[in-house]
Amino acid sequence: MAMDKNEIVLKVNRVYNPPRAIVDGSYIKPEEYERLYAESIKDPESFWAKIAEEELHWFRRWDRVRAGDHPYYRWFVNGKLNITYNCLDRHVKAGKRNKLAYIYINEENHEVKVTYGELLDMVNRFANGLKSLGIQRGDRVAIYMPLIVEQIVAMLACARIGALHSVVFGGFSAPALRLRIMDAQAKVVITSTWTKRRGKKIDLKSSVDEAVADLPFLEKVVVVQREGDDYELVEKEVDFHGLVKSQSSVCEPEVMDSEDPLFILYTSGTTGKPKGVLHTVGGYNVYTHYTTKIVFDLHENDIFWSTADPGWITGHSYLVYGPLSVGVTSVIAEGAPDYPDPGWWWSIIERYKVNVFYTAPTVVRLFMRYGEEWPRKYDLSSLRILGCVGEPLNPEAWIWFYEQIGKKNCALIDTWWQTETGGHMITTIPSYAAKPGKAGKPFFGIVADVVDKTGQPVAPNTVGSLVIKQPWPSGLRTCWNEPERYEKYWKTIAPYYLAGDLATKDEDGYIMFLGRADDVLNVSGHRIGTAEVESALVSHPAVAEAAVIGKPHPLKGESIKGFLILKHGQEPSELLIEDLKLHVRRELGSLAVPDELQVLDSLPKTRSGKIMRRVLKSHELGMEVGDISTLED
C-alpha cells in the first residue's frame, strides 16, 4: 500500500533510535561512538594495531602500523599472515570445526551445508590442485562462476597459496571476461558449466570458451560440473571435483607479507576500460574483519545473510572474507530474489532464522512493488539488523524495509562504500540513531567530509563531493598496470581521496548520498561506465558516434539511455535498435543494455570535441541545462 506524501515527509524527518534490546546487546553503545570515533582518528595507528592484535592471527607481528609516502600507504609493515588462516584454521583450532560456515540454497530447494572444517579441507585440496597445475604465488587466476560453494573455495584456495584471484561477475559477457583475463594475464580460469536463474539454465562454459580462445598465456580451464552434467573435457580443461579428490587435504598457508596483493577486482571508471582495483592482504583482512563484526554487530551464534554475489566487492568483503574471518554462519542463495515466487527470500529468512540481512536498495524496491502480503506470510522475527548497499536507499524504501521487513523492531543501516575502499566507510552502526535516506556517519578511523572543488567543506545541507582525508587500512593500493589511474583519486581534490559521489552533510554530521558526480552509471547497484557502453555501441557497424546517460528509474535507480549518430547510409529502424541492444548484451552483458536508444543528427559537443552528456541529460529530463558557454553549436 502506498503511503501518502505527508506521511512520508513526517517519517523521513524523524530520527530512528534502534530498539533497546539491540542497543543493549551491541558491541558498541551509541554513547560510546563519539568518543571511540574521536580516538580512532586522533591516533589511527594505535586504534588499528589494537584490533589487528586482538582479533587476528599473525605469523609475524608488524614493525609499524602505517608507513609510506602519499598516496602510497602501507599498513602493518612487515607483518606476516595468511587471510585463509584467519578465516579457517583459526576457527578450526578454536574448536569450531563443526560450526557451519555456509548454508547454500538454490531455487530448486537444494541445500548444502558446509562446516568450517569441511571448508578448510576443500580449500586445501583445491589449493594443492592449483599448485599441481603450476600456479604459484603472485600468479593471477580468473574466476567466472555462479554463487556456489566451489566459487568461495576457488577464491580462498588462491589466497591460501598467494595467487591473486580476479573474480568476474557471471553476468558479464564473453568479451568482457576476455578483456579482464587479458589485462591480468590470468594463467587459469575457474568456471562452472552453468547457473540457473528463474528456472532457466544459463551457460557459462561457452562464454569461457569464447573468452579464452587463442590466448597463449592461458594454461588451464578448471570446470565445476554441476548436477546431472556429463561434460567431456577437452584439452587444457580440468575437472574441479576430480582435482579436489586427487589432492591432499594438507596445504600449509603461504606466509604472506601484509602488503602482498590479495586480489584484483575490475570496476568501471569514468573513461576507458575497467580498472583493476588491487587490494592487499593485511589491511584488507583487518578492516573487513572489524567492519563485519561492528557494522553488522555479529555475535557467535548469528546467522548472516548477505545477498551479494562474489562478482562484486560486497561479495568479497561481506560474503567471503569478513564473515569467515569473524567466524559466523552465512546463508548463500543462488538465483533470483523473486523466483519461484516473491516470497522466496522471506521463506529463506524464516527457514534459517536469519538475524542479519544485507541487501541492495533495488531489491527492496522490487519487493515493495510485490506488496506486503508476501513478507507477511513468513515469520521474520529472527531479524535484528537490516542493511543496504550499492546506491542511495531512498526514504520511501527505507521506511518500507524498516516497517514491513524489520517490523519496526530492527536496526537499519545504509552502508556507503566502494570497490576501492574495500569495506564500509559511511554508515551508522546498528546501535546508533539512523535517519531515512542518509547513510550517516563515518566509520571508525575514517575522516570523511563533503567539500567544494577546492577542498573546502561546504555549508551544512549543501551539495558537494565526498572526500576521505586520511588513508585507511583497506584502501586500494593501485590499479593493476595503471598507477596513473590510482593517483588520479588523490590528485583531483588533492591531497584527499575523491570518491566520485555527490553528497550533503547535515547539522548533526549525517551524510546523505545523491549519486555519482561523474560519468559512472549505477544500474541496480551495478557500476557501469558510460564510456564502456558507448564503445560497445560504436563497435556496431551501423554506429558512427554514441553518447550514454543515466536516467532516474523507479526500480533500478538508473536506466541507460543512448544517443546515436548513424553512419552514412544507415537508416534508423526498430530492427536496428533491437540489434544494437543485442550487440551491447553480447559485448558487455545484460546488465549494460540500454533501455532506450535514440538516433540524432548531431551530439552536443564542446569546441574541443568532447561530448557534453550533461546537456543531453538536462534536455532529456527537462531540466535547466546550466553553463553551455563551451558548447560548439
With helix as H, strand as E and coil as C, how does 122-146 read?
A: HHHHHHHHHHHCCCCCCCEEEEECC
Q: What minimum distance in Å lies between the beta carbon of 34 and ligand WT7?
A: 22
Examine residue 296 and tell whether it contacts ligand WT7 (CB under 6 A). no
CA distances for 146 relative to 45, 171, 248, 332, 449, angstroms: 39, 9, 26, 11, 37
Q: What minimum distance in Å lies between the beta carbon of 497 and ligand WT7?
A: 12
Q: What minimum distance in Å lies between the beta carbon of 552 and ligand WT7?
A: 14
Nearest Cα residue to 352 out of 535, 152, 117, 112: 112
Examine residue 389 and tell whether it contacts ligand WT7 (CB under 6 A). yes
Examine residue 416 and tell whether it contacts ligand WT7 (CB under 6 A). yes
Among 419, 465, 478, 504, binds ligand WT7 (CB under 6 A): 419
Contact 220, 234 (CB under 8 A): no
Contact region for ligand WT7 (CB under 6 A) — 144-152, 327-335, 385-393, 444-452?
A: 385-393
The smaller minimum CB distance to ligand WT7, of residues 89 and 449, is found at: 449
Q: What minimum distance in Å lies between the beta carbon of 398 and ligand WT7?
A: 11
CB neighbour burial string for 58-75, b if at least 16 within 10 angstroms, e if fewer: beeebeebbbeeebebbb
Examine residue 439 and tell whether it contacts ligand WT7 (CB under 6 A). yes
The smaller minimum CB distance to ligand WT7, of residues 387 and 604, is found at: 387
Q: What minimum distance in Å lies between the beta carbon of 314 and ligand WT7?
A: 4
Residue type at 587 in one-letter notation: E
Question: Which residue has cell 583531483?
Answer: 492
The smaller minimum CB distance to ligand WT7, of residues 343 and 525, is found at: 525
Contact region for ligand WT7 (CB under 6 A) — 122-130, 307-315, 364-372, 457-465?
A: 307-315
Q: What minimum distance in Å lies between the beta carbon of 305 and ligand WT7?
A: 16
State the DSSP code for 406.
Answer: S
Contact region for ligand WT7 (CB under 6 A) — 14-22, 55-63, 254-262, 389-397?
A: 389-397
Cell of 545: 558516434
Examine residue 313 and tell whether it contacts ligand WT7 (CB under 6 A). yes
Q: How far apart are CA 227 and CA 545, in angstroms?
A: 46
In terms of phi and psi (left: phi > 0; alpha: psi -120 to 50; beta: otherwise), the region of 374 is alpha
Cell of 583: 550487440
Cell of 630: 563551451
Contact region for ligand WT7 (CB under 6 A) — 53-61, 281-289, 384-392, 539-547?
A: 384-392
State the DSSP code for 591.
Answer: G
Return the residues of window 490-549 that contact ligand WT7 according to CB under 6 A.
Answer: 499-501, 513, 516, 522, 527
Q: What minimum distance in Å lies between the beta carbon of 313 and ligand WT7?
A: 5
Q: How far apart are CA 322 and CA 284, in angstroms?
A: 9
Question: Which residue has cell 557500476?
Answer: 527
Q: How far apart are CA 308 and CA 541, in angstroms?
A: 36
Q: How far apart are CA 190 and CA 206, in angstroms?
A: 13
How many residues line the site for ligand WT7 (CB under 6 A)? 22
Examine residue 309 and tell whether it contacts ligand WT7 (CB under 6 A). no
Examine residue 390 and tell whether it contacts ligand WT7 (CB under 6 A). yes
Cell of 479: 590499479
The smaller minimum CB distance to ligand WT7, of residues 47 and 312, is found at: 312
Examine residue 151 and tell whether it contacts ligand WT7 (CB under 6 A). no
3-class SS at 3?
coil
Q: What minimum distance in Å lies between the beta carbon of 392 and ligand WT7?
A: 4
- φ/ψ (deg, to 5) at 549: -130, 165
Return the residues of window 239-278 that contact ligand WT7 according to CB under 6 A.
Answer: 267
Examine residue 414 and tell whether it contacts ligand WT7 (CB under 6 A). yes
The smaller minimum CB distance to ligand WT7, of residues 390 and 471, is found at: 390
The smaller minimum CB distance to ligand WT7, of residues 347 and 419, is found at: 419
Q: How far apart are CA 192 and CA 152, in angstroms?
A: 13
Q: How far apart are CA 166 and CA 154, in angstroms?
A: 11
Q: What minimum distance in Å lies between the beta carbon of 275 and ligand WT7?
A: 11
Cell of 352: 534459517
Contact region for ligand WT7 (CB under 6 A) — 89-97, 161-169, 383-391, 487-495?
A: 383-391
Strand partners, 520: 529
Q: What minimum distance in Å lies between the beta carbon of 494 and ligand WT7?
A: 19
Nearest Cα residue to 143 out of 61, 208, 206: 208
Contact region for ligand WT7 (CB under 6 A) — 136-144, 195-203, 254-262, 309-317?
A: 309-317
DSSP assignments along 96-126, one per residue: ITTSEEEEEEETT--EEEEEHHHHHHHHHHH
User: What residues line the site for ligand WT7 (CB under 6 A)?
Assistant: 267, 312-314, 389-392, 414-419, 439, 499-501, 513, 516, 522, 527
